[in-house]
């Protein structure tokens, strides 16, 4: 376990707890490279104060610095992601150098978001790249140009349970409890609703998306509201829904059902729960 | 187990499966009382056809009708909810009477959404009211006037892990993985962000809401962007976040930790998973 922190206050609390337990918690200092969430900004004197607080005694030991350029998800071009990647790298490497310059240890220099990990022009000085959604990809990543739709390796298997033909709706058993409430593509160039609809082989079907969800029901329709022949998708038809955000959708399920195309099961992988 | 269906096609499939298994599936016909999701509209001849398909042979047996006025969540006044409740009741009772008039059995007449269950002026002809979120209530229900903030009986216990004082942000360990992505109050008169912030005793703190979330981080700030003294909420401070939607938030957790005020544990109730 490595503890991530961004204040002297937290550093002292972790060290106190470590001493009480008779152990040293390995600790990373979070660097705020993009104003997106927590972390110490590059140049903030707090960085040195935290480093020294962790270095002062037993209970915690400084292992390095870490950042996550989560704002890369909001970029609208590959050039913007590339610039964000360099900003992320420069922030975390600069902080590592500042700590080392003050005689403090900084073996780990950790960066990464899937977009910046994909488009970075270099990782000079970085020792670790964390890119979680890289494993599956999703519609948000496809919308950012990070992957193709065909690269998305996780989906929700849904079954048609009814129709509302006058509305052009196909009703499935996969509502937001199965898909998550994540609408990460809502502000992208292509809004994929609650997910893109594919056949069981993973090939997108016409221009169908999950246009709305109830708790247990998915509502599939043409993305532009065009009429569709709902009878082409009889009750019992299985479909794959590609998710906006692989993390949010996977978190709604206890396990992954692993297939090699189709629906024949190769394995069941229990999901790590909690965060 | 009772099967809910809304087409002759589904009725026949269920009956076929029941016969193959040598059992009779009890079945309810879903009635669409508000155009919100699936179901047969009152007056649609499909109702009788489904009733007869279920009555024809073994494998499935008609037990009644069911509806859910989910569109009541979008009402903007108590009068509108009251009108929706009567529409819901009239739809499902009317369908039950039509089935009985054709000599078909209809012992169960099931209605209910928490708003309509709360404000209905009568339940004449209804045999069952389902009102799930009634158990806990939540901010969406408070926004609808269905309950008071003080009635909300479920919350997420969050801990302050940092600050961004120049932005007026308090950072917690409860991001959307803990709170869900549900933004059900976004279109209500009072937008509660990702949740209303209370002290450990459940009393709202000033005008703090969870203004944004990352996967594992909650960002708490004044709802109108006013400056706050973040030092009043030091690292380690525990807070309760009242959820927009009790169902969505509870679904993010494996169990309920039951307390009688404060944080001392009375019981742990495992959560029913799946849907």
pLDDT tens, B124-168? 999 999 988 999 999 999 999 999 999 999 999 999 999 999 999
- Can you tell me the distance from the alpha carbon of B15 to that of B60, in angstroms, rounded to the nearest whole number? 5
Residues 6 or more apart in contact with residue B114 via CB below 8 angstroms: B131, B132, B133, B134, B137, B141, B146
Structure tokens at B194: 């990702």
How many angstroms separate the CA atoms of B88 and B82, rounded? 10
What was the pLDDT predicted at A127? Answer: 98
**pLDDT at residue B211, rounded to an integer:** 98
CA dist., res. B143 & res. B137, Å (int): 11
Average pLDDT over every residue of B10-15:
94
Could you give the ipTM of this predicted complex?
Answer: 0.94
- What kind of fold does domain B149-270 have according to CATH? Lyase, Ornithine Decarboxylase; Chain A, domain 1 (2.40.37)
pLDDT tens per residue across all 275 residues of chain A = 999 999 999 999 999 999 999 999 999 999 999 999 999 999 999 999 999 999 776 899 999 999 999 999 999 999 999 999 999 999 999 999 999 999 999 999 999 999 999 999 999 999 999 988 999 999 999 999 999 999 999 999 999 999 999 999 999 999 999 999 999 999 999 999 999 999 999 999 989 999 999 999 999 999 999 999 998 999 999 999 999 999 999 999 999 999 998 889 999 999 887 76
The predicted-structure confidence for B75-84, as pLDDT tens digits, reads as follows 999 999 999 9
**Residues A14, A17: Cα–Cα separation, whole Å:** 5
| A254 touches B: beta carbon within 8 Å | yes
Within 120-139 of A, beta carbons closer than 8 Å to B belong to none
pLDDT at residue number B241: 98
Distances (CA, A) of A182 to A177, A192, A195, A249: 11, 11, 9, 8
- Between CA A197 and CA A238 the distance in angstroms is 10
Which residues are CB-contacts of B237 (< 8 A; sequence separation ≥ 6)?
B159, B160
CB B183 within 8 A of CB B244: yes
Nearest to A181 among B13, B180, B217 (CB): B180
Fold of B3-130: TIM Barrel (3.20.20)
Enclosing H/E stretch for B238: strand B238-242
Q: Do A235 and B9 touch (CB under 8 A)?
A: yes
Crossing angle between the packed helical segments A46-56 and A78-101, to the nearest 10 degrees? 50
Compute chain B's Rg from CA coordinates.
Answer: 23
Ranges for all domains in chain B classified under CATH 2.40.37.20: 149-270
DSSP annotation of A272: P
Interchain CB contact of A16 with B (< 8 Å): no
A3-131 is classed CATH 2.130.10.10: no
Which of A140-168 are b and which e, b meaning 16 or more Cβ less than 10 Å from the residue's Cβ? bbbbbebbebeebebbbbbebbbbbeeeb
pLDDT digits (tens, 9 = 90+) for B198-211: 999 999 998 999 99
Closest to A199 (Cα-Cα) out of A173, A160, A227, A169: A160
In the predicted model, is pLDDT for residue B274 greater than 90?
no
Backbone φ and ψ of B47, nearest 5°? -55, -50
Give B215's contacts in chain A (Cβ within 8 Å): 247-248, 275
Residue ranges with strand state E in chain A: 3-5, 25-31, 60-67, 108-111, 128-129, 156-164, 169-172, 196-198, 204-213, 218-222, 238-242, 255-259, 265-270
CB-based burial, B63-91: b 16+ in 10 Å, e otherwise: bbbbbbbbbbbebeeeebbbbbbebbbeb
- The angle at the Cα of A101, spanning A72 to A10, to the nearest 5 degrees, equals 60
B176 touches chain A (CB under 8 A): yes
Tokens encoding A17 = 């707890």
pLDDT at A202: 94
Give the distance from residue B38's alpha carbon to the nearest chain A alpha carbon, in angstroms. 7
- pLDDT at position B9: 95
Question: Is A175 part of the contact surface with chain B (CB cutoff 8 Å)?
Answer: yes
Interface contact A177-B251, CB threshold 8 A:
yes
Query: Which among A215, A234, A247 has CB closest to B215?
Result: A247
Residue for token digits 């964000």?
Answer: A84
* pLDDT for the residue numbered B82: 96
Q: Could you give the residue range(s) of every CATH 3.20.20.10 domain in chain A? A: 3-131
Q: DSSP for B61-94?
A: EEEEEEE--GGGGG--SHHHHHHHHHHHHHHHHH
In 3D space, the residue among B11, B45, B12, B9 whose CA is nearest the CA of residue B28 turns out to be B11
Question: Which residues of chain B does A183 touch, with a Cβ-Cβ cutoff of 8 Å?
Answer: 181
- In chain B, residues with a C-beta closer than 8 Å to the C-beta of A217 are 37-38
Query: Would you state the pLDDT for residue A255?
Result: 94
Band (pLDDT 50/70/90 cuts) for residue B42 is: very high
């Amino acid at each position: 376990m490595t503890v991530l922190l961004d204040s002297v206050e937290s550093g002292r609390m972790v060290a106190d707890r470590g001493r009480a337990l008779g152990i040293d918690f390995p600790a990373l200092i979070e660097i705020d490279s993009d104003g997106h969430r927590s972390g110490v900004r590059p140049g903030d004197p707090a960085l040195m104060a935290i480093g020294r607080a962790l270095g002062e005694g037993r209970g915690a030991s400084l292992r390095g610095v870490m950042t996550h350029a989560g704002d890369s998800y909001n970029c609208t071009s590959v050039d913007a992601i590339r610039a964000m990647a360099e900003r992320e790298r420069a922030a975390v490497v600069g902080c590592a150098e500042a700590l080392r310059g003050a005689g403090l240890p900084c073996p780990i220099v950790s960066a990464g978001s899937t977009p910046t990990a994909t488009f970075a022009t270099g990782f000079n000085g970085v020792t670790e790249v964390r890119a979680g959604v890289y494993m599956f990809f999703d519609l948000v990543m496809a919308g950012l140009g990070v992957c193709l739709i065909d690269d998305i390796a996780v989906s929700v298997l849904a079954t048609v349970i009814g129709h509302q033909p006058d509305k052009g709706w196909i009703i499935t058993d996969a509502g937001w409890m199965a898909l998550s409430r994540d609408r990460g593509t809502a502000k992208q160039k292509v809004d994929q609703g609650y997910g893109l609809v594919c056949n069981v082989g993973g090939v997108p079907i016409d221009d169908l998306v999950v246009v709305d969800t109830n708790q247990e029901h998915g509502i599939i329709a043409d993305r532009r509201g065009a009429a569709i022949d709902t009878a082409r998708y009889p009750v019992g038809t299985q479909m794959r829904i590609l998710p906006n955000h692989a993390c949010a959708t996977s978190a709604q399920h206890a396990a992954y059902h692993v297939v090699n195309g189709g629906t024949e099961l190769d394995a069941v992988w229990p999901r790590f729960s909690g965060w």
